[in-house]
Amino acid sequence: MAVEEANLLLAERIIQEKLKPFVRKIDAEAHYPSEYLSAVGSSGLLRSEGLPQTDVLLGDVKLIEVTARTCMTAGFNLWCHLAASTYVRNTANPYLRNTLLPQFEDGTLMGGTGLSNPMKYYAGLEELHLKARRVETGYVVSGQLPMVSNLGPDHWFGFVASLEDRDQRVMAVVPCSAEGLTMKEKIGYLGLNGSATYSCVFDGVFIPDDWVVAEHADSFVAKIRPVFVLYQIPLGLGITESCIRSMEKAGLKQGGCSRYLSIQPEELAAELEALRERTYALCNVSDPAEHWRELLEIRLSVAQTTLKAVQGDMLHHGGAAYLQTSHSSRRLREAYFLANLTPTVRHLEKLLRRRK
């Protein structure tokens, strides 16, 4: 059996055991799927050592996709972790590569990413929220990030701060236990409450040089940004697939009159397959940064297709879907997060400059 196929079977088994039984709890009780995430890590599915980049990208994309098929919140947690892993996989800092990366990849430590603000900064949408001052053996960082997900006691997250005295930005990772870092859990969202999302206040947090991912964040972010966006796409692929399956199941309701609805599973399946093929193809290119526009186009299309799919799912299931605890309504609420996750739909529209 090919490695890829074996890995998918393993992922499906972990999903059955460690994720499926908790989906409602994740959605309704803000349960953080830590057991699932650790099991994925300890099973070896996150390992990158010795693998060509194309295999790592495709493996990670498919893992996020199968996870999001069952629960997009858990898929998003995995995205956070794999985004953080991407920073550490690409850094030149030997401490992070040799010490943090193996623990990220065996699931003993988890990662998050505070990069929405920098992504908006680099797109000219807002100022950087964190400021850094150089000291002898590192930086002292202050400021606030309003939302960073997939955090907890054994977690680290990536951030970008601007230097106070020069036109330069630095990127680093920080453990949630760092002195001077105050975190406050944020719940009460429409969905995604199991994502372990916190506001993070940096009050003179000392970041030693060992935690610095890149002294020059501008060029580093340009390098990792394509993977950051690529890994978001399977969130939509997974949720759309589950909507299609759900619509097919509802097909015979009320004498099959759902066939008259304007959104049909066959049409969505064709859209999904085309998006999936384009996404997998991008995992196989030597430098995804050379395909930035194509990535943005797929990311925008997947958000739009996903919104259509969740709407179709709601309509095909009728009153049963309107229950707060139904899978259709959970997917609807989760899908709106994909549209509002940076790069948001409006951010993407700006980057693609489709409209004046």
Ligand X SMILES: Cc1cc2nc3c(=O)[nH]c(=O)nc-3n(C[C@H](O)[C@H](O)[C@H](O)COP(=O)(O)OP(=O)(O)OC[C@H]3O[C@@H](n4cnc5c(N)ncnc54)[C@H](O)[C@@H]3O)c2cc1C
Which of 31-39, 141-149, 242-250, 306-314 is the region at the interface with ligand X (rule: CB under 6 A)?
141-149
Minimum distance from CB of 234 to ligand X (Å)? 17
Nearest to ligand X of 280, 337 (CB atom): 337
Out of 8, 55, 106, 146, name the contact with ligand X by CB under 6 A.
Answer: 146
Asked whether position 342 contacts ligand X by CB under 6 A, the answer is yes
Asked whether position 258 contacts ligand X by CB under 6 A, the answer is no
Q: Which of helix, strand or coil describes residue 254?
A: helix
C-alpha 224/C-alpha 219 separation (Å) is 9
Asked whether position 197 contacts ligand X by CB under 6 A, the answer is yes
C-alpha 68/C-alpha 55 separation (Å) is 20
Distances (CA, A) of 186 to 95, 117, 190, 293, 354: 32, 17, 12, 33, 34
Minimum distance from CB of 222 to ligand X (Å)? 17
Minimum distance from CB of 71 to ligand X (Å)? 14
Q: Which residue is nearest to ligand X (CB)?
A: 116
Asked whether position 232 contacts ligand X by CB under 6 A, the answer is no
User: Token digits for 137?
Assistant: 């053996």
Which of 63-71, 98-106, 144-152, 172-180 is the region at the interface with ligand X (rule: CB under 6 A)?
144-152
Out of 340, 345, 350, 352, name the contact with ligand X by CB under 6 A.
Answer: 340
Q: Which residues contact 12 (CB under 8 A, 6 or more apart)?
A: 66
Site string for ligand X, 59-98 (x = CB under 6 A): ---------------------x------------------
Cis check for the bond before 343: say yes or no (omega within 30 of 0).
Answer: yes
Q: Total residues contacting ligand X (rule CB under 6 A)? A: 21
Out of 72, 160, 250, 341, name the contact with ligand X by CB under 6 A.
Answer: 341
Distances (CA, A) of 139 to 38, 146, 173, 183, 293: 31, 21, 12, 20, 34
Residue ranges in contact with ligand X by CB under 6 A: 80, 112-117, 120, 126, 146-149, 189, 192, 195, 197, 340-342, 344
